[in-house]
Amino acid sequence: MTKKVHESVGADKFSSEAFDAAVKAGKDGVEMFVREGTDAVNKGFQKVASLAQGANETMAKRYDEFASFGRTGIEASTTAADAFVKHVEAVNAQVADFSHKNLADTMSAAQSILSAKTPQEAAQLQIEFVQAGISRWIDQSTKFSELSIKAANETFAPLNGQIAKFVERFARPIV
């Protein structure tokens, strides 16, 4: 019986040592798992914080660029409006000049037709007046077309440049 008690005590001692070793190994494993997990989480948070900081800086820079484009957009719009007004004034001057010349030519033709000595001469003067009038209208239409094209080009040039810059800069993804 003494032998059995001694064996039993040895088995308990052996079991206790094995148990303590298993507990220590488990504890070490859990501590290592927690430490490595904490390190991984900290690295992840640092990476997220770094990315967020980079995104904040990028967004602030983009905001500044966007505000700058707003200012230059207003300047481009003002330049375009000035060009448009200048061309409207030029068209008005052309219309007034054409109307004045046309009225003077009509008055002169009317006097010539009324002072004609024969109906054939009056008809001939009327034909010449109509031909000259058609020619003047064609010439004036050409001038108006050229002026309109020039007005459109000069009016939209500052806006086109600004739109192209805006699309080039802000159509790209934020990186």
User: What distance in Å separates the CA atoms of residue 86 and residue 64, rounded to the nearest whole number?
Assistant: 33
User: What distance in Å separates the CA atoms of residue 43 and residue 130, rounded to the nearest whole number?
Assistant: 90
Which distant-in-sequence residues (6+ apart) come within 8 Å of 105 by Cβ?
129, 132, 133, 136
The total of other beta-carbon atoms located within 10 Å of residue 22's CB is 10
Cβ proximity of 63 and 174 under 8 Å: no
The total of other beta-carbon atoms located within 10 Å of residue 158's CB is 20
Which distant-in-sequence residues (6+ apart) come within 8 Å of 86 by Cβ?
154
Nearest partner of 82 among 159, 155, 150, 157, judged by Cα: 155
What is the pLDDT tens value at each position of the chain, 175 positions in all?
444 544 554 555 557 777 777 778 777 777 777 777 777 777 877 877 777 777 777 777 777 777 777 778 788 888 888 888 898 898 889 989 999 998 999 999 999 989 989 999 999 999 999 999 999 999 999 998 998 899 888 888 888 888 887 777 767 665 5
Give the pLDDT confidence score for residue 115 in this predicted structure. 92
Give the pLDDT confidence score for residue 44 in this predicted structure. 72
Give the pLDDT confidence score for residue 12 in this predicted structure. 54
Q: Which contiguous run of DSSP H or E holds residue 115?
A: none
Cβ proximity of 73 and 162 under 8 Å: yes
Give the pLDDT confidence score for residue 107 in this predicted structure. 92
Give the pLDDT confidence score for residue 111 in this predicted structure. 93
User: Which 3 state secondary structure label does DSSP give 172?
Assistant: coil
Domain boundaries defined on the chain = 2-170
